[in-house]
Every structure is written in C-alpha cells, then in structure tokens.
Amino acid sequence: MTPEQLKFDREHIWHPYTSMTNPTPCLPVASTSGVTITLTTGEVLIDGMSSWWSAIHGYANKQINDAAHAQIDNMSHVMFGGLTHEPAIELAKNLVSITPEPLDKVFLADSGSVAVEVAIKMALQYWQAKGLQQKHKLVSLLNGYHGDTFGAMAVCDPLNGMHDIFSDILPKHFFADSPKITFDQPWNPQDIQPLAEILACEHDNIAALILEPIVQGAGGMRIYHPEYLSQARALCNKYNVLLIADEIATGFGRTGKMFACEHANISPDIMCVGKALTGGYMTLAATLTSKEVADTISNGGAKCFMHGPTFMGNPLACAVANASINILKTGKWQQQISQIEQGLKQGLTPAKALSKVKDVRVIGAIGVIELHEAVDSVRIQRQFVEQKIWVRPFGKLVYIMPAYVIDPKSLEKLTSAIVQVVASH
Ligand SMILES: Cc1ncc(COP(=O)(O)O)c(C=O)c1O
C-alpha cells in the first residue's frame, strides 16, 4: 500500500467510531488466512478478535471459499421480492434446525443492527395486530448493546451504549438494572427484581424485553447467571411480553452452546443472529420468530410484515452462511471451544495478580480482562502489534474471542502477550 493510499484513507474514509479530523491510526492489511492477519509491511499478527466475533472458522477457510466461488459463478444476487432461490431456502432450513423450537419463521436481514430493527418491528406489529397498540415500549437492560441504527440505539444502555448524544431524539424505553450475579456465583433472586418491578408496573405498555443472553458484549463484556435468563423468560410469560434474544454476538457456539439461550434452556419469541452467520465472510443477519408471532402479524391490519430490504436473502451471502453452518454441524466446534476456554482461563488468570486489573472472566471462547482505568487505546494497540498480536480493547476492557480453529500455541502466544502488555501498559 502506498503512502498516498494511506493518506487518502486518513483524509476521506470513516472507520468505525473515528474522527475525520483526528483519526486513530489504521494498519494496512495485505491478506488474512487462518488465524493470522498479514500487514503490507510483512508483519504477521495472530488475530484475537475474529473480526468482531465473526470469523469463527478462521480466514480463507477452503470449504467456505469453495462455496463462495461456486455461488458467484452461478448467481451473486437476485431480488427476493417475488423470487426465491436454493441458498436462501437451505439457509432458512439450517437456521430453523439449529435454533431452539419454536423458532421457525426466518427473516433475512442485512446486518445485526437491521436484524434488531426487524425484531422490534415484529414485536410492535404483533401487538398492533392483537389490538393492543398501547404495548409499544421495550424494556432493555443497562449495559446492553444492540447496534447503531435508531431503533437499536434506543435499546442500548442510555449512557455507556455509545449513543447518549442522541438521547433527546430517541424513543424512550424502560431499562432494568443489569444482572449482577455472574455465571458461576450462587444465584440470588434479588438480581431479577429490577426487571420484575418494571414488568409488574408497565407490562400494559411493553411489547418486548430485549436482551443479550448470558454475555452482554459491547456494553461491558459482562457474563451473567443463566437463572436470570430463565426468570426473565418466566416473567415475560407471566406479563404477556415478548422476549427478543439478541444472539448476534453470542450465537453459533461462541459461549460453548450453539446459542447462549441454551445455557438456561429457554426459547425466545424472537431471536436475532448475525456476525458469525457467514463465518465472517460478509454481512448477513437473520431474525427468527415463532409461527404464533408470524401468523398474528400476518393476520393483522397490514396483512404482511412491513420490511423488505434490497439485498434481502442475497444468494452469495446465504451460500456462504450455509457453508459456515455446515462446518458447525460436524460438531467439532464443541471440543474446540472447550479447549479454547481452558487455554483462556490458564493464560489470562495470571493477570488477576496485577493491581491495575479488576477482573478476569472467561466463558467459551471469550476472554476478558477488565482494568480499573481505561487504556490508552492507540498506545496499547501499538504494544500489541509489537508483540505480533491483534487485539482491540475498548475503555477498561481488553478482550479476545479467537477463531475456533486457533491452535494451542497461537492461543498461548496471544494470552501471554496480552498479560505482558497489560502489565507494562
Ligand atoms: C449484541 C449485538 N447486537 C447487535 C449488534 C449490531 O450488529 P452490526 O454491527 O452487524 O450492525 C452487535 C454488534 O456488535 C452486537 O454485539
């Protein structure tokens, strides 16, 4: 990459959450393969991020590459209105077969945030169709994160959800205090009280509860007790409120179960998936719901579900997603995740001894070091790259979620370099 190209990038291209006048530095990538990112300088970095939870089988996976090539030669895209195709049908079959019952109606969306918009719209249309228009608020959890579009922003944590500057113009929803009891602690019924109180008082106005099951991701990388999820499900049943599980980060094996809802053996009424759906190859997401919800919407005033993006059901993305799910269907991921979990526990636990570290937590293939103070993100990034690893912390959180195919040696290199950098930062 030439210095001119990099200059153009700095001056003309927005990267996620960056400034145009004072952009944070970006490293030029030449290629990716397996669990590594090769920079144009020739440096090879072990990737700890899986491109934000998505590249679960590593980069340039042969099976997925082959599926993409075969599909692109046949049909890259065709509109989904009035037309259908095998890749979408196969993907819907795959999703219905691996998600909890009774989720069996599939809406294919463009990205995680759009899948959340679709889920919210489904919940609103459901109650409208039942003649209960006043049920149009949502309840969400503090420390939650659900995306960057307007409907999604309105259910993110109002303060740390990165969208507080829009708070005056976003629709107002209810927020329950976030779960405090961690995954391994003894359950305490007090934990669910804040949510129970909101639902008891406001259920007549509430269409749905939206939450990230078991792991609250971008809002704090917090891992909570499965009993919270079970009780939340029971409360939704009691108060006639739909449950939306946002599995966009947690889905497809990441927490050690195919979907994090399985830790509590519950089924949501609506589920959003994205990120790892295509094994990190391209953007695609889905919102699933039950026959009951779908039929009610379809028999309502509008007689249909009011959403339909241009690239809905993109065949290329569906074919790639099918290839990724077919790899998961071999079941190998379970052993991979449990080995990664062990490696993360072993490798990151030494950080607990550092006075600057508040907590170290691991579930499945997710490892988190929480510090007392926010890191200097530019400096720590440089330190990681010097150690030949790719880790991108935010705030007080240094966290990784490597590809399931990472080998023990690379994982050990990743964790030991992280502990070393955190210690010296
Ligand atoms: C739980 C959750 N929901 C929704 C989203 C939004 O997904 P996308 O970035 O694909 O729009 C994210 C992204 O980080 C997420 O972690």
**Distance from residue 237's CA to the centre of ligand 1 (Å):** 26
Residue 96 CA to residue 103 CA, distance in Å, equals 6
Contact 88, 318 (CB under 8 A): yes
**Distance from residue 53's CA to the centre of ligand 1 (Å):** 10
**Distance from residue 99's CA to the centre of ligand 1 (Å):** 19
Catalytic residue among 135, 246, 269, 404: 246
Atom of ligand 1 nearest to the CA of 111: 10
**Distance from residue 146's CA to the centre of ligand 1 (Å):** 5
Ligand 1 in contact with 247 (CB < 6 A)? Answer: no
Pocket probe for ligand 1: among 248, 255, 270, 277, the residue whose CB has the most ligand atoms within 8 Å is 248
Ligand 1 in contact with 117 (CB < 6 A)? Answer: no
Closest CA to 127 of 242, 1, 257, 33: 242
Residue 43 CA to residue 20 CA, distance in Å, equals 27
Given the DSSP bridges, would you call strands 206-211 and 215-216 parallel, antiparallel or unpaired?
unpaired
Ligand 1 in contact with 146 (CB < 6 A)? Answer: yes
Atom of ligand 1 nearest to the CA of 116: 4
Residue nearest to atom 10 of ligand 1 (CA): 112
Number of residues assigned to the chain: 425
Active site annotation includes 275? yes
Looking at residue 187, what DSSP letter applies?
A: P
Closest CA to 286 of 256, 337, 325, 332: 325
Ligand 1 in contact with 151 (CB < 6 A)? Answer: no
Residue 35 CA to residue 40 CA, distance in Å, equals 17
Per-residue pLDDT in tens (0 to 9) along the chain, 425 residues? 899 999 999 999 999 999 999 999 999 999 999 999 999 999 999 999 999 999 999 999 999 999 999 999 999 999 999 999 999 999 999 999 999 999 999 999 999 999 999 999 999 999 999 999 999 999 999 999 999 999 999 999 998 767 789 989 999 999 999 999 999 999 999 999 999 999 999 999 999 999 999 999 999 999 999 999 999 999 999 999 999 999 999 999 999 999 999 999 999 999 999 999 999 999 999 999 999 999 999 999 999 999 999 999 999 999 999 999 999 999 999 999 999 999 999 999 999 999 999 999 999 999 999 999 999 999 999 999 999 999 999 999 999 999 999 999 999 999 999 999 999 98
**Distance from residue 391's CA to the centre of ligand 1 (Å):** 18
Ligand 1 in contact with 157 (CB < 6 A)? Answer: no
Pocket probe for ligand 1: among 53, 110, 145, 399, the residue whose CB has the most ligand atoms within 8 Å is 145
Active site annotation includes 17? yes
**Distance from residue 264's CA to the centre of ligand 1 (Å):** 22
Atom of ligand 1 nearest to the CA of 144: 1
Predicted local confidence at residue 167, as pLDDT: 87
Pocket probe for ligand 1: among 51, 52, 146, the residue whose CB has the most ligand atoms within 8 Å is 146
Ligand 1 in contact with 217 (CB < 6 A)? Answer: yes
Ligand 1 in contact with 213 (CB < 6 A)? Answer: no
Ligand 1 in contact with 248 (CB < 6 A)? Answer: yes
Closest CA to 99 of 268, 244, 315: 268
Q: Helix 408-424 and helix 332-348: axis angle, to 10°?
A: 30
79, two tokens: 């509109």
Residue 358 CA to residue 184 CA, distance in Å, equals 17
Residue 101 CA to residue 261 CA, distance in Å, equals 11
Active site annotation includes 246? yes
Three-class SS of residue 52?
A: helix
Ligand 1 in contact with 249 (CB < 6 A)? Answer: yes
**Distance from residue 151's CA to the centre of ligand 1 (Å):** 13
Catalytic residue among 228, 275, 396, 404: 275
Atom of ligand 1 nearest to the CA of 147: 6
